[in-house]
């Protein structure tokens, strides 16, 4: 009648209406000279649908919606004059059994601040973007070029990064306040990207944003859609990419949400053995239904297109790929071949990843995939899922297991730190130390470390150096860069007062130095996914728990050697094997006074000697301190 045509219905039914967010939901329009809002919703099982809201006094029968043609598609639409920005509304859906359901708009651009559950009218079509330089550079990049760029991600929960003290409300920083504080901090530290948790609207703070009710709406906790766009715009102006957590795996059962939306399972599988996560108490999207796939694809495209988002980290991919994920026998249904793979979810991933990386080749699709599913970042043409990156959960578990050990026992677990390189080139990996590792009694990164208090800090510094030197992009959760002592909680801000303690400040300074070294040396990122970029010098020094390796640039001119001692033993007789008879410049030394050390007379340049060591033709002597880290720069040319 007003905007949703038969052509729209056709493409929606094929899961290829890629501008669906411009048609579904609430949009300002002028109809026959009258300004107002057009409301459109999909509810095929409904007997009747009404729009109720502040503009009609929540009168349940004031604004009846009409089915658009073809009527069997089940799309309803109406136009209401004089609706204003910010006004709240819901859909009253009368089911085929006469039940009254009061639902938020699945395609809403904005939502009422929790605990309210209504949707809100918002104009998201007239943001004033000034990030043209960033977008032009991003959109001219290929996926292959993206893999050769630095990526050091600061994973952040905006509501608990920092808070206003003494306020009667939650004390949240707004999107605009975060644009002045968080972005400057990330820039100063040397990160390249911010990954934001909990931006898609959600009702319960304790879910951290992983039980979403508003897949098209930036959460109102921190401001309006325009405020969020301003934050992204400011990130781009300061050359920081923005990644969002995105959750197509499941959704909550809240009465105002997607569950049994029109009185029947609509967005979820009808069979509870396929449509529910027994452990999580949530619903599973029906990936075999085109309109549901289009809903999810449209959400992803909306964030990338409308809000200029540079990457989506897709949560809980394994739970989508396996029909038996988190389920006991009798709780799941095999696929048509009798297997446990969700064939519809596999097709969905190939569709959405190929679409987004094809349309926006400078945008990253990132899989949080916790199993050994093959070819996650492989091309769809070769039966891969076509993600850009995969979180390396195996590396993370091995790394943490090793770092938690008393140094005496590390010699017997040496392979935990070397094993990841044996499969490193199977996928395009991101090394992650995420929020999941510092909650639920898992302790902070600092508290995982063994030893007395001083050794805990030195252990952590050594571990971070290993991570930053290792092949793969990087992600570190907020607070761990300054050795947050307590587990993370969404209920309070980080313990910034710890920076008054010299031990915490030196970890922050150390991480800052590592990040700037990472960004400033292309050998650390341009060949992450092939053996040309990494070479072990000595991967087998288990008795001393020392690791040494080379990171190489394509042209051979920019190369770094990392040496890391994971015991409290000083190695005064240590000798490092090196590949060429050149000078080696010491660019990072953990015993530098600026990191709390006592080295004041150590040389900064070392000349290779004709003394073979570690299988290398040359070597340099270097007295390696307890938990010592040394990084040398050299050229093959």
Mean pLDDT of 61-73: 95
Q: Does residue 154 lie in a domain region?
A: yes
In a shared domain, residues 282 and 226: yes
Largest CA-CA distance found in the chain, in angstroms, rounded: 90
310: pLDDT strictly greater than 90: yes
CB 79 within 8 A of CB 37: yes
Residues 57 and 203 in one domain: no
Q: Is residue 465 part of a domain?
A: no
Q: In what order do the strands lie in the sheet with 34-42?
A: 25-31, 34-42, 75-81, 66-67
Is residue 129 scored above 90 in pLDDT?
yes
Q: Is residue 53 part of a domain?
A: yes
Instruction: In whole angstroms, give the CA distance from residue 546 to residue 541.
Output: 6
Model pLDDT, residue 63: 98
**104/165 same-domain check:** no
User: What pLDDT is attached to residue 168?
Assistant: 72
**The domain that contains 17 carries what CATH number?**
2.60.40.10
Q: Are residues 591 and 630 in the same domain?
A: yes
Same domain for 97 and 177?
no
Residues 112 and 202 in one domain: no
Domain edge (last residue) among 357, 391, 425: 391
Same domain, 62 and 154: no
Neighbouring residues of 567: CB distance < 8 A, sequence distance ≥ 6:
407, 410, 544, 545, 626, 627
Listing DSSP states for 410-447 in one string gives: HGGGTHHHHGGGGSGGGS-EEEEE-GGGGSTT---HHH
151, 282: one domain: yes
Residue 502, domain member (yes or no) = no
- Per residue in 337-370, pLDDT (tens digit) is 999 999 999 999 999 999 999 999 999 999 999 9
3-state secondary structure of 11: helix
Q: Name 42's bridge partners.
A: 75
Q: What value does the mean pLDDT take over residues 177-195?
A: 98
467 in any annotated domain: no
Burial of 460 (0-12, 13-18, 19+ CB in 10 A): buried
Kindly list the distances between the CA atom of residue 376 and the CA atoms of 310, 396, 437, 504, in Å, as whole numbers in the listed order.
20, 18, 23, 38
Give the CATH number for residue 629: 2.60.40.1180
**368 in active site:** yes
Structural domain boundaries enclosing 41: 6-120
Helical (H) or strand (E) element with 191 = none
Judgement on whether residues 191 and 231 belong to the same structural domain of the protein:
yes
In a domain, 421, yes or no: no
pTM of the model: 0.96
Model pLDDT, residue 211: 97
Work out the number of other CB atoms within 10 angstroms of the CB of residue 523.
21
Instruction: Kindly report, residue by residue over 434-463, the tens digit of the pLDDT.
Output: 999 999 889 999 999 998 889 999 999 999
Say whether both 325 and 210 belong to one domain. Answer: yes
pLDDT in tens, 191-227: 999 999 999 999 999 999 999 999 999 999 999 999 9
Q: How confident is the model at residue 1 (pLDDT cuts 50, 70, 90)?
A: low
The domain total for the chain is 3
Domain shared by 93 and 153, yes or no = no
* From 8, 286, 368, 526, the catalytic residue: 368
**How many percent of the chain have pLDDT more than 90?**
96
pLDDT in tens, 252-280: 999 999 999 999 999 999 999 999 999 99
Asked if residue 223 is part of any domain, the answer here is yes
Selected residue with higher pLDDT from 2 and 385: 385
Rounded to an integer, the average pLDDT of 187-194 is 98
Average pLDDT, integer, range 104-119: 98
Q: Is 509 an annotated catalytic residue?
A: no
CA distance 498 to 243: 28
Question: Average pLDDT, whole number, for the chain?
Answer: 96
Question: Is the pLDDT assigned to residue 188 strictly greater than 80?
Answer: yes
Region for 374 from its dihedrals, namely left if φ exceeds 0, alpha if ψ lies in -120 to 50, beta otherwise: beta
Within-domain flag for 610? yes
Same-domain status, 310 and 219: yes
Domain CATH for 358: 3.20.20.80
Q: Which of 120, 137, 168 is the last residue of a domain?
A: 120
Residue finishing a domain among 120, 137, 162 = 120
Catalytic residue among 77, 315, 436, 509: 315
Burial group, residue 350, by CB count within 10 angstroms (0-12, 13-18, 19+) = middle
Asked if the model's pLDDT at residue 115 lies above 90, the reply is yes
Of the pLDDT bands very low, low, confident and very high (cuts 50, 70, 90), residue 190 is very high
Average pLDDT value for residue range 91-111: 98
Cα–Cα distance, 99 to 97 (Å, whole number): 6
**Distance of alpha carbon 26 from alpha carbon 1, whole angstroms:** 15
Cross-strand partners of 41: 76
């Amino acid at each position: 009648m007003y905007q949703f045509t038969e052509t729209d219905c056709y493409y929606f039914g094929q899961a290829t209406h890629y501008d669906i967010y411009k048609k579904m939901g609430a949009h300002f329009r002028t109809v026959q000279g009258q300004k107002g809002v057009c409301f459109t919703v999909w509810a095929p099982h409904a007997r009747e649908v009404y729009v109720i809201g502040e503009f009609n006094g929540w009168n349940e029968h004031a604004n009846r919606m009409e089915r658009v043609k073809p009527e069997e598609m089940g799309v309803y639409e109406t136009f209401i004059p004089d609706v204003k920005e910010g006004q709240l509304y819901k859909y009253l859906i009368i089911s085929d059994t006469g039940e009254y359901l009061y639902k938020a708009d699945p395609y809403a651009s904005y939502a009422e601040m929790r605990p309210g559950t209504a949707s809100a009218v918002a104009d998201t079509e007239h943001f004033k973007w000034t990030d043209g330089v960033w977008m032009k550079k991003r959109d001219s990049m290929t996926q292959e070029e993206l893999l050769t760029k630095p990526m050091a991600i600061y994973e952040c929960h905006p509501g608990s990064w920092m808070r206003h003290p003494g306020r009667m409300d939650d004390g949240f920083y707004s999107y605009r306040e975060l644009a002045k504080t968080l972005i400057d901090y990330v820039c100063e530290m040397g990160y390249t990207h911010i990954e934001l948790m909990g931006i898609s609207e959600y009702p319960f703070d304790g879910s951290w944003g992983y039980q979403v009710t508003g897949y098209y709406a930036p959460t109102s906790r921190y401001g309006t859609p325009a405020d969020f766009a301003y934050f992204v715009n400011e990130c781009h102006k300061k050359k920081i990419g923005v990644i969002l957590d995105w959750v197509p795996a499941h959704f909550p059962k809240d009465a105002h949400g997607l569950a049994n939306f029109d009185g029947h399972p609509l967005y979820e599988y009808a069979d509870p053995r396929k449509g529910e996560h027994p452990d999580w108490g949530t619903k599973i999207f029906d990936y075999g239904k085109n309109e549901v796939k289009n809903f999810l694809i449209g959400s992803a495209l909306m964030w990338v297109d409308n809000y200029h988002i540079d990457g989506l980290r897709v949560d809980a991919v394994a739970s989508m790929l396996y029909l038996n994920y988190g389920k006991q026998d009798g709780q799941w249904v095999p696929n048509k071949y009798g297997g446990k793979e969700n064939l519809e979810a596999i097709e969905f991933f190939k569709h959405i990843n190929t679409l987004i990386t094809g349309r926006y080749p400078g945008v990253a699709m990132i899989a949080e995939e916790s199993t050994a599913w093959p070819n996650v970042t492989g091309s769809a043409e070769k039966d891969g899922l076509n993600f850009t990156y995969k979180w390396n959960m195996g590396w993370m578990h091995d790394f943490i297991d090793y770092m938690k050990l008393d140094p005496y026992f590390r010699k017997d677990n040496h392979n935990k730190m070397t094993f990841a390189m044996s499969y490193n080139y199977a996928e395009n990996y991101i090394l992650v130390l995420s929020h999941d590792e510092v909650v639920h009694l898992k302790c902070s990164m600092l508290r995982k470390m063994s030893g007395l208090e001083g050794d805990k800090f030195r252990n952590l510094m050594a571990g971070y150096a290993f991570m930053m030197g290792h092949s793969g992009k990087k992600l570190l959760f907020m607070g761990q860069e300054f050795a947050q002592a307590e587990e993370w909680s969404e209920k309070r801000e980080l313990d910034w007062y710890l920076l008054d303690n010299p031990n915490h400040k030196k970890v922050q300074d150390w991480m800052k130095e590592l990040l700037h070294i990472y960004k400033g040396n292309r050998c650390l990122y341009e060949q992450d996914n092939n053996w040309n970029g990494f070479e072990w010098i000595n991967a087998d020094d288990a008795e001393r728990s020392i690791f040494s390796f080379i990171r190489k640039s394509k042209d051979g001119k920019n190369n770094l050697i990392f040496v890391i001692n994971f015991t409290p033993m000083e190695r005064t007789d240590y000798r490092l094997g090196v590949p060429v008879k050149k000078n080696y410049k010491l660019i990072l030394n953990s015993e530098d006074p600026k990191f709390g050390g006592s080295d004041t007379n150590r040389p900064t340049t070392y000349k290779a000697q004709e003394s073979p060591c570690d299988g290398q033709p040359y070597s340099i002597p270097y007295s390696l301190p307890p938990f010592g880290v040394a990084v040398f720069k050299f050229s093959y040319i």
